[in-house]
Structures are given as structure tokens and as C-alpha cells.
Structure 1
Amino acid sequence: MAIVKVIEIMATSEKSFEDATKNALKEAGKTVKNIKSIYVKDMNGKVENNEIVSYGVTTKVSFVVSH
């Protein structure tokens, strides 16, 4: 039986929500092995002068810790 762990990662980007999600996965991948999925739980944006200047996501990253 595989054991799957889920961690929550927050990340930002000045480009897009998609890029922020990729940043979350990239950072998680630096220390976590066997990543199987990523789920975007929440999205938000920072606004200045009626323009979005930063995109943020809260993600859940799932990975296998044993078989």
C-alpha cells in the first residue's frame, strides 16, 4: 500500500496564475521527491493603480512517501 502525503505551498508570480503554480511546483521539487499531483486551492492578486502587479496561488502538492 502506498502512503501519500499532501503539503500546502504558496507561491507568487508577476506574470500569471499559471506561472505562480509552476513556481510552487518548482520550489516543492527542490526538497520533495515522487510528486504525483498539484491542486490549486486558492488564487489571489495584488493590485496597484487598478492593475494586477502580482499573482498568488495556494496549492496542495501530493507525493508518495512509501509503497
Structure 2
Amino acid sequence: MSDSIAGLAQSIVSNQSAATRESMQTTFIRKQGESDRAIAQLLQQSADQQKAVLPEGQGAVVDRQV
């Protein structure tokens, strides 16, 4: 009987460990996404600031037909 209790306890601990690991992975992925969005915002702000200091007509995308 103690073998089955020990096996059950081991199974519970193993399941809790797996759940904790999955929760941490989800948190890490969410934090990475937040970090990526923050970097994208900083790059966009930098690009906007660079355009603001350029002379009139520069820094815009222009399609030209040759």
C-alpha cells in the first residue's frame, strides 16, 4: 500500500512540476513579446524623430516611374 501512496505522491509532484514549468514558459513568452513591442516602439519613435529633423521633402517614401 505504501508503494501506491509513494507512486501517487510522485505522480502529483511530477504533475505540479510540469504545470509550473508550463506556466513559467508562458510568462517568459509573454515578457519576450512585451519586450519586442517596446523595441519596435522605440525604433518607430527614432524613425519619426529622424524624419522631423530632415529638410522638407526628405525622409518620405516616394515611388518614381522611370
- Common fold, TM-score beyond 0.5? no
Greater RCO (Cα-Cα under 8 Å, separation 6 or more): 1
Specify the structure having the higher radius of gyration (Cα): 2
Structure (1/2) with the larger strand percentage: 1
Shorter chain as denominator, the TM-score bin is under 0.3
- TM-score, normalising length from structure 1? 0.27
